[in-house]
Structure 1
Amino acid sequence: MEGKGLIQIYTGDGKGKTTAAIGQGIRACGRGCRVIMVQFLKTSDSGELEIIKKIDGFDVFRFQTQEGFYWNLDEAGRSRVEAETKAALEFAERVMADKKCDILILDEILGALSNGLVKLDSLIRLLGNKPEGMEVVLTGRGAPEELIEKADLVTQMQKVKHPLDKGIGARRGIEY
Structure 2
Amino acid sequence: MGKLSKGYIQIYTGNGKGKTTAAVGLATRAAGNEYMVTMVQFLKGGATGELQSAKRLQPYFNIYRFEKPRGFFWTLNDEEKAELKEEIQEAYRFCLKQFEEKACDILIMDEVMGALSNKLLTEEQILELMDKKPENIELIMTGRNVPERIIEKANLVTEMKDLKHYFNEGVPARKGIEF
TM-score (normalised: structure 1): 0.97
Q: Show the counterpart of 1:111.
A: 114
- Separation in 1 of the partners of 2:150 and 2:35? 25
Per the TM alignment, residue 107 of structure 1 is displaced from its structure 2 partner at its CA by 0.3
Alignment partner of 1:123 out of 86, 108, 126: 126
User: 1:63-142 maps to which residues of 2 (within 5 A)?
Assistant: 63-142=66-145
CA contact (8 A) 2:109 2:142 kept: yes
* Equivalent residue pairs, number: 176
* 1:4 counterpart residue number: 6
Gaps of 5+ in 1: none
Normalising by structure 2, report the TM-score.
0.96
Change (3 A) 1:175 1:45: same
Partners of 2:68 and 2:163 in 1: how far apart?
Answer: 32
Distance in 2 separating the partners of 1:14 and 1:68: 22
2:14·2:160 contact (CA, 8 Å) conserved in 1? yes
Matched position secondary structure for 1:29: helix
What is the rounded CA distance, in whole Å, between the counterparts of 2:70 and 2:63 in structure 1? Answer: 18
Shift of residue 160, structure 1, vs aligned partner: 1.3
2-structure distance, mates of 1:162, 1:77:
32
Does the 8 Å contact 1:66/1:81 carry over to 2?
Answer: no
Please list every run of at least 4 consecutive aligned residues from structure 1 whose deviation after the TM superposition is greater than 4 angstroms.
none
Question: Cα distance, 1:75 vs. partner?
Answer: 1.2
Q: Once the 2 structures are TM-superposed, how far is the Cα of residue 3 of structure 1 from its aligned partner?
A: 2.3
Cα pair 1:35 1:102 within 8 Å, conserved = yes
Alpha-carbon distance between aligned partners in 2 of 1:169 and 1:60, rounded to the nearest angstrom: 25
User: Which residue identity lines up with residue 30 of structure 1 in the other structure?
Assistant: G
RMSD over equivalenced CA pairs, Å:
0.9
Between the aligned partners of 1:163 and 1:47, the Cα distance in structure 2 is: 20
Identity of aligned residues (%): 46
TM-superposition CA deviations, 1:62-107 (whole Å, max 9, x none): 0111411112101121111111001000110101100000000000
SS at match of 2:11: strand
